[in-house]
């Protein structure tokens, strides 16, 4: 996560260390080949923009803790669908970024 206004989320492949070297290479290759960092970054920017109003309301009503709770709950929901989806990664990153939690989106 890069603290800009609006925030920029940078995605990268980080294969599980228990995977074989071949599998790790495939994951990295596909991530690069399909330009997933760009795709996920664009989609994440749109997602954050779409939640701007709700996040600002939460921030006004309950401060950073309310925003963090919402982001963690949303991350948990996405993880239940797919642990490795970009949405889960995005919401987890936002929930742990103090700059994002404390600044109007």
Distance from chain centroid for Cα 99: 14
Answer whether residue 8 is part of any domain.
Answer: no
Domain count within the chain: 1
Instruction: Report the first-to-last Cα separation within the chain, whole angstroms.
Output: 14
Answer whether residue 2 is part of any domain.
Answer: no
Residue range of the domain that includes 67:
21-102
Report how far residue 105's alpha carbon sits from residue 100's, in angstroms, rounded to the nearest whole number. Answer: 7
- Burial class of 100 by CB neighbour count within 10 A (0 to 12, 13 to 18, 19+): buried
* Residues 19-77: tens digit of each pLDDT: 999 999 999 999 999 999 999 999 999 999 999 999 999 999 999 999 999 999 999 99
pTM of this prediction exceeds 0.95? no
Answer whether residue 3 is part of any domain.
Answer: no
| Tokens of residue 36, six digits | 């997933």
| Tokens of residue 54, six digits | 């709700």
């Amino acid at each position: 996560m890069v603290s800009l206004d609006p925030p920029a989320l940078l995605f990268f492949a980080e294969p599980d260390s228990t995977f074989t070297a071949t599998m790790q290479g495939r994951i990295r290759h596909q991530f690069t080949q399909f330009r997933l960092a760009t795709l996920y970054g664009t989609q994440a920017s749109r997602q954050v923009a779409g939640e701007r109003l709700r996040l600002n309301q939460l921030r006004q009503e309950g401060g950073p803790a309310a925003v963090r709770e919402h982001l963690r709950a949303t991350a948990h929901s996405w993880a239940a669908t797919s642990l490795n989806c970009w949405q889960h990664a995005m919401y987890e990153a936002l929930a742990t970024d103090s700059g994002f939690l404390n600044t109007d989106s």
